[in-house]
Structure 1
């Protein structure tokens, strides 16, 4: 090769080297000197070797610890706001049973639910554990799969802490336990240490809690339900589960049984004929009699809902839960319900009386504290908390929210007039609603027609036709949006005109929160039963019950002003007091299945609901209870409200309202042109004016009948059953209700 050719070769090599980013001598430059495929692979395998070496060292160092789960179980203490102990819970409800005391097919339900490879694996699920470690490191929560062995190790040897070190220790201990312990002993330990809800630890306690039998008598259907429970004991408890929870636990139950068929542990023919084994209703543990059980169970639910604690963590014990309940006001509320309702009913002899269930909640509107709560006659006798149940219609207590939506959105009538307390509507009964997409023509109570009527009077008299039209004028989506802002659960509720009559379900606690938000000038009040949760090893934070402004003060204060008119000159007159400002609304639902009074002073908001409940827990009418044709909101609920409020409120107070409408100012002049006179033969009902206006402490409000414009023409009924009809539950002696189909009667 000549010199020229050599030079050309060197030049070409330099160019190629330059393109590769390194000198022509072949040496790498820049960052490529440090990262090559060989170096990357070498580093990776080096880390793998280090990890394996570390795991070997960890395996040699970590021993199986002594079982400590039982030793760490403690009581949870519940206290009133003054520190007095309400109840102690948390004594471990568990009875260890040998595996041979559990039917073999029931044993297999737990394996099918949690770990189908249990009998073949070596105690750990590397993939699931790696996922759990990664989730912990990245802050994604308590996710990740575990084998039955790992769950048993966590329950019995370790703790519920979600840390990387605990997960690694779980891994090592699980390997050693699997090598040193039989599969049967591991399975027995697992089903005996797991938490099933209802305070039951272990399968024996769970069998008693859900089916009232010993574990040895469980069948495979029942076993599959208990196995399904372990995924979410509180959510899947059939007695307390939401419709979604019931759907999920049924899916889980089917999943367990299908896995058993797949593994050859259950005959497919038997499987196809299996029906869901509905558990028994819970039985109250000792010491939960009266109102204590309602307070303790609702406080626990609130802690779990707001604290981020799992049920197993909370039930492990060591927590002091202080409630906002004022023991003095709690006694006053119980006394009022007894004096104004329970003492006047004969539940043993009168079928109608036996159907009546009462619930009430009292809230401080400035702090959101639940000061008193009445859940039912006795937690031991009636497990469902009537103060928090949401399965009965809210009836006319919903009407103020329609007006609130109108004011908040600056809504107008069909002819373009702004909606205010003085706006005139057509109050004719069964008048077709204009402007709606759905035909709707609701009757008024007892089919009374009012003709042209102001919104104020329509609220006072609870005129259905007016608020049905107003709902369409505002737009039902806006009505429900406002209701949601105020605190009602409107998820999945259809935005149809029928909602204006209060067909949506609500609880006394929920309605107390809604009206407390109005009382608090539009700042959101979420009733808080629990004041604090303390534990020696951790801090538990709870949300502030007072939130931001959700509706304008002018809107909230205007509604309060209008609702004083309901008390001064409407269906709420049974609670009038000469020295105390009061706002409120009555409500009576379809076929008299519920009756309400939700009212407030500047310092106290209380909602009282009565619910008709049959022997099987179904909704039934309360007609005939107490000897009355029907139980209206201005009857027993108002009487309970007045007796409690005037005993508990302290010194009289006045509303501080920023509004230019409603009953707080001179009432608007009622239109006269074309307004028909109202009938004077209105049927006897307990929802009209009392004969006397209560003074500082009212006498017992009577259920005296009147007509809208005339004095009574029929005798005033007493609160005792009439002598001619000792059983008001029968049809004898009771005139037919002219409008049993109405969604609202107040």
Structure 2
């Protein structure tokens, strides 16, 4: 028995030793395997960790954010962006929004070291069970993927992601990482970051979001296209509700808020239930597009800085004046277009197969490229054509029981159709004018506030531009580069180079006044012949007549070509050219005599800027569309106003007041500027712009009309001591605009319409008298000095440099421009009548001119 017990004990001990040996063997192998696994894993991590991007660069990360343009009154005008993103610091993001994203993406964000081990294990278990694979990436890992790695789905990228996440957590705070995530994440509809997405989907700020709206945004990072609020609404609501449930369980919303949010509908901009924040902005126009073009040249980073730098741009535009400029120019272009009586056809066409129901034609019409930036004009599509009318569907206007119609009678201004195969004479039926699917522009005609009918409108073929600026600061207050920006983005104020015609003459007269002329100098209005390039050039006055000698003032008031040519010939085109270049009209003006009559090409932008220097007393002024540009941190990187101020830094003013000085360079003699302004007032009060500008405004405005040969270009530019403005009208491909097309008749009314608005807050029109000058009364027909008490229609008060004024009863200098004349030429003529008088020539000699000149006397050196 004892023996058996001993043997059993030995077997038990042997079994125990075997078990212990096995356990030891297993432990050894497990330990060895673990060590090897750690070594292998460490080696893998070491291998992949060597060439990883520098995560510390995230501390200096500046995301591409949109730039905004504000008007002079602080209203948002436009936005420029490649990625629609509005950077928002983490401390300005509401807890509700942060809670929504943490609940949806990484509820353990503030506890884990950069990766969520529990989430990774749960994901692996789900994958092993064959369940839907869930993501296990933390917000930190997503930031590393979005900023430093590519988006490939591979084990290699996940390893790099983990390494970078741990590193980032050691150098960046949790809030820094969350800030990067919430400003970088793509949330669909070209929206990056939560702030831009809140505007895109709900037209709200982050503070205005409801729990349901915040949850919807938090649902988007997973796959924005899968949760579109219209096309995938059911999936979007389901995912939103999941996020809401997580928010409730994580304590970010109450039970009551959860129930209300779950029960709410998904109402977004995309579904049409919310008005887009972009819709609240004005349509992009010539002004903001020109800002884009000019800032692209001025900014160190070029146009890319504007689209990605998060800049705040304060524009110079005055919204009221901009609206007045657009309205005035459009009204005159349309008036001229309708006077021609030519119908150019529809702005677009829609296939008949899309017009079968209201939903179809409204969708097709919304997608058409009809312009929508002309106030009062609405796109419409022709649905049916009858004998005398056409039924139309109008964008944004509900159909009524009777329908909407365009009648043939409304189109009685049309005398000819010029539109492909339907071209012809005056339409006698609606079918000759309209076809089903035509997209046309219409306007509601009202009387006494009551709707009367819909009227057909068309974009004019003729184009033009208008611009106005402050003569002291150079701030461009309004700019309209054409009839419709959406129809044609070509800015005719800055990009169209056209012949200024007679509107260039003030530069000739300014050079003359600087060269010894006075407003009372007598210049001969007689034929001229110039040999140029082996050919004879014979300039003429617009009337094809000549009027004999007349004061310099008359030459500019009546826009006498022959007087201008003689003046330019006398002083030399080199002086005229230098003057035009100094004032910025041309960069390098050829010294051709024809340029004195505006034969060269320049832009309205340059002409208005030069006229502004006439108005401000001859100081250099640079036109600008931008007052100030600030970067994303509020630092000023560009400021137009370079005036200095002494004492402006003081918190309180005691005794001496702040003093502002202007460093602007004097580019024109102040006396010349004053004399020229006075002479150009005569253009408006009794000259070529009297009927269209002077008679309407009734204030002392200086200006000049301009019309080129064959009436291809029409101009009017004018200025006061505060504002300069100008208009240009012509076909984009230059051609004759017809009889009666002059600068005064076409552009004069545009200027007058605009100035009626601009003059409301104008203030004084007084100009300071330059030092060392005297005022003298002159007969504006003869140039003879009159007594100080003289009065009458012929009397005009002229400014002279002290010592250059004629004596009482005397005359100014006599100028023939270098072209020989007979000695019996009359001194002057009151329009077309004449009388004899005594002349003082430029060399100081006096001669009596007979009243009846011979034919040869009026010739130009016998050459004509």
Match for residue 88 of structure 1? Answer: 79
After TM superposition, list the pairs within 5 Å mapping 1:154-553 onto structure 2.
292-343=284-335, 345-346=337-338, 348=344, 354-408=460-514, 410=515, 418-429=516-527, 431-432=528-529, 440-491=537-588, 493-537=589-633, 539-544=636-641, 547-553=664-670
SS in 2 for 1:548: coil
CA distance in 1, matches of 2:680, 2:778: 14
The 8 Å contact of residues 433 and 468 in structure 1, kept in 2 or not, is answered as no
Max Rg structure? 2
Q: Which residue of 1 aligns with 2:765?
A: 654
Aligned pair in 2 of structure 1 residues 453, 310: CA closer, same or farther (>3 Å)?
same
- The answer (yes or no) to whether the contact 1:471–1:479 under 8 Å persists in 2 is yes
Cα displacement (A) at 1:61:
8.5
Counterpart-to-counterpart distance in 1, 2:832 and 2:302: 60
Residue 693 (structure 2) pairs with residue 575 (structure 1): yes
1:402-459: CA deviation from partner (whole Å, max 9, x where unpaired): 1111222x2xxxxxxx422111122124x12599999643111131211112211111
Find the partner of 2:780 among 664, 668, 688.
Answer: 668
Over 3 Å counting, the alpha-carbon distance change for 1:385 and 1:544 in structure 2 is same
TM-score normalised per structure 1:
0.51
In structure 2, relative to structure 1, the CA distance for the partners of 1:592 and 1:466 (3 Å cut) is same
Shift of 1:401: 0.5
Describe the shift of the 1:439–1:556 C-alpha distance in structure 2 as closer, same or farther (beyond 3 A). farther
For the pair 1:63 / 2:58, whether they are aligned, the reply is: no
Q: Please state whether the residue corresponding to 1:78 is helix, strand or coil.
A: strand
- Residues 565, 662 of structure 1: 8 Å contact kept: no
Displacement of 1:596? 0.6
Q: Structure 1 residues 605 and 667 mapped into 2: Cα distance closer, same or farther (>3 Å)?
A: farther
Q: What does residue range 675-690 of structure 1 map to in structure 2 within 5 Å?
A: none
* Secondary structure of the structure 2 residue equivalent to 1:459: helix
The residue number in structure 2 matching 1:229 is none
Structure 1: gaps spanning 5 or more residues: 1-58, 95-154, 159-198, 200-285, 411-417, 624-628, 681-746
Deviation at 1:499, TM superposition (A): 0.5
Q: Secondary structure at the match of 2:744?
A: coil
Secondary structure of residue in 2 paired with 1:513:
helix
**How many Å separate the matches in 1 of 2:687 and 2:599?**
22
The answer on whether the counterparts of 1:441 and 1:465 sit within 8 Å (CA) in structure 2 is no
Whether the 8 Å contact between 2:296 and 2:304 is mirrored in structure 1 is no
Summarize the Cα distance change of 1:452–1:428 in structure 2 as closer, same or farther, 3 Å threshold.
same
Aligned mates of 1:373, 1:455 — CA distance in 2: 33
Contact kept in structure 1, 2:558 and 2:688, CA below 8 Å: yes
1:643/1:291 Cα in 2 relative to 1: closer, same or farther (>3 Å)? Answer: farther
SS in 2 for 1:314: helix
Query: Cα 1:460–1:334, aligned 2, differ >3 Å: closer, same or farther?
Result: same
Quote the residue 2:747 is aligned against: 637
Deviation of residue 343 (structure 1)?
4.6
Change (3 A) 1:312 1:636: same
Q: Hey, what's the Cα distance between the residues in 2 that align with 1:645 and 1:519? A: 15
Deviation for aligned residue 1:341 = 3.6
**Using the alignment, how far apart are the partners of 1:435 and 1:455 within structure 2?**
26
Q: Which residue among 552, 558, 561 is the counterpart of 2:675?
A: 558
Query: How far did 1:510 drift?
Result: 1.6
Residue 425 of structure 1 aligns to a residue in which SS? strand
2:550–2:827 CA contact under 8 A, matched in 1: no
Using the alignment, how far apart are the partners of 2:462 and 2:282 within structure 1? Answer: 17
Structure 1 residues 307 and 89: alpha-carbon distance in aligned structure 2, compared to 1, 3 A threshold: closer
Instruction: Say which SS state the counterpart of residue 638 (structure 2) adopts.
Output: coil
Q: Look up the SS of the partner of 1:337 in the other structure.
A: helix
User: SS where residue 609 of structure 1 aligns?
Assistant: strand
Could you tell me how far 1:360 is from its partner in structure 2?
0.6
Describe the SS at the equivalent of 1:388.
coil
Residue 675 of structure 1 and its aligned partner are, at CA, apart by 5.5
* Alignment partners' CA distance in 2, 1:376 and 1:301: 17
In 2: Cα distance, 1:677 partner to 1:353 partner: 45
Q: State TM-score, norm by structure 2.
A: 0.44
Runs of 5+ in structure 2 lacking a partner? 1-48, 86-145, 150-189, 191-277, 345-413, 419-457, 643-661, 784-824, 834-864
RMSD of aligned residue pairs (Cα, Å) = 3.8
Change (3 A) 1:379 1:67: farther
- Post-superposition CA distance 1:362-392 (Å, at most 9, x none): 1111221111111111111011112212411
Q: How many residues align?
A: 417
Distance in structure 2 (CA, Å) of the matches to 1:427 and 1:290? 52
Cα pair distance change 1:590/1:290, threshold 3 Å: farther
1:99-144, CA deviations, whole angstroms, 9 ceiling, x for partnerless residues? xxxxxxxxxxxxxxxxxxxxxxxxxxxxxxxxxxxxxxxxxxxxxx
Closer/same/farther in 2, CA of residues 678 and 540 from structure 1, 3 Å limit = same
- CA distance in 1: counterparts of 2:681 and 2:689, whole angstroms: 9
Structure 2 distance, partners of 1:88, 1:525, is 28
Aligned counterpart in structure 2 of residue 600 of structure 1, from 714, 719, 727: 719
> CA–CA distance in 1 between the matches of 2:296 and 2:542?
43
8 Å CA contact 1:434–1:469 kept in 2: the answer is: no
User: Is contact 1:424-1:455 (8 Å) kept?
Assistant: yes
SS in 2 for 1:514: helix
Q: Give the C-alpha shift of residue 314 in structure 1.
A: 2.4
CA distance in 1, matches of 2:282, 2:606: 22
Post-superposition offset of 1:74 = 1.5
Q: Which has the higher contact order (CA 8 A, sep 6+)?
A: 1
Moved more, 515-524 or 296-305: 296-305
- The structure where strand makes up a greater share of residues is 2
Q: What do residues 7-34 of structure 1 show as CA deviations (whole Å, max 9, x unaligned)?
A: xxxxxxxxxxxxxxxxxxxxxxxxxxxx
Contact 1:289–1:379, Cα closer than 8 Å, also in 2: no
8 Å contact 2:781–2:830 — kept in the other structure?
A: no
Q: Distance in 1 between matches of 2:582 and 2:670?
A: 14
* Alignment CA distance shift 1:65-1:514 (3 Å): same
Structure 2 residue matching 1:523: 3-state secondary structure: coil
Q: 464-473 vs 309-318, which deviates more?
A: 309-318
8 Å CA contact 2:498–2:713 kept in 1: the answer is yes
TM-superposed deviation, 1:477: 1.9
Q: Which residue of 1 aligns with 2:245?
A: none
Q: Which ranges of 4 or more aligned residues in structure 1 deviate by more than 4 Å?
A: 59-62, 64-71, 155-158, 286-291, 349-353, 433-440, 659-667, 674-680
State the shift of 1:157 in Å: 6.7
